[in-house]
Amino acid sequence: MTDNLADLEDQIERLDAAKPDEVARDEAKALLERFLAALESGAIRAASKQPDGQWAAHPWVKRGILLCFRWGRLADYSINRTFQFSDKDTLPPQDLSARAELPRVVPGGTTVRSGVYLGRGVVIMPPSYINVGARIDDETMIDSHVLVGSCAQVGRRVHLSAAVQVGGVLEPAGATPVIIEDGVFVGAQCGIFESTLVGCCAVLGAGVILTAGTPVYDLVREQIYRADGKCPLV
């Protein structure tokens, strides 16, 4: 981690520990804008793969996202009288046009929230919703009616078919988010929740639901996978 990012982590932790009357709101907002920009650039993320191949959550990143809700005030983001919206002023709509490489977000009702990282060549079909802290890596295809929840980590060249639901995990801060590794194909109307990890190049047939309490039978290896108290479903 660079010195700048280490400093960002330290400032987020201090803001999290501070009482509301100990920090000016403008100062907090400026820090949170910097934090969200780091998420959007890919400089920081909610979880990352370690040298031993295991995934680890970064609790301070989740705490930073929760601070956006704590410090935000409702603001009007309406387009007109027909399309009226409001949200926290610390989480404004992400300006995708400001990116160096414009992502392909097909018209028709998709929302990409602040703090979302979109890699090169990502395609998002409408309507889809990508929540704060999520990471969508290069050349991934997101089909219509897909939800990618808070802090979910979706790898390279993944295909999320129509109506897939990828759960979000903000609390507890130390919990690993839902992770879908590189090259995975997720069939239509699948649901992946509760810190489940889908390994590299796996294929999920249409309608599969994976949760912490779901036993999975591997047809190829003839094994049954289960989550336990120490390890999520992998």
pLDDT tens for each residue of 75-93: 999 999 998 999 999 998 8
Whether 1 shows a pLDDT value over 60: the answer reads: no
Task: Tell me the one-letter amino acid at 185.
Answer: F
pLDDT tens for each residue of 170-226: 999 989 999 999 999 999 999 999 999 999 999 999 999 999 888 888 888 899 988
**Phi and psi angles of residue 25, each rounded to the nearest 5 degrees, phi first:** -65, -40
* pTM metric for this prediction: 0.93
What integer is the mean pLDDT of 52-73?
96
CA-CA distance, 124 to 90, in Å (whole number)?
24
CA-CA distance, 41 to 51, in Å (whole number)?
22
Band of the pLDDT at 229, cuts 50, 70, 90?
low
CA distances from 41 to 44, 100, 134, 135, 139 (A): 8, 10, 12, 10, 16
Give 3 or 18, the one with higher predicted confidence: 18
pLDDT at 214: 87
Q: Which helix (H) or strand (E) holds 66?
A: helix 59-71
What structural domains and CATH numbers belong to the chain? 3-71 (1.10.166.10)
Give 96 or 137, the one with higher predicted confidence: 137
Hunting for tokens 């990828």 — which residue is that?
A: 166
pLDDT tens for each residue of 121-167: 999 999 999 999 999 999 999 999 999 999 999 999 999 999 999 99
pLDDT at 217: 86
Whether 57 shows a pLDDT value over 80: the answer reads: yes
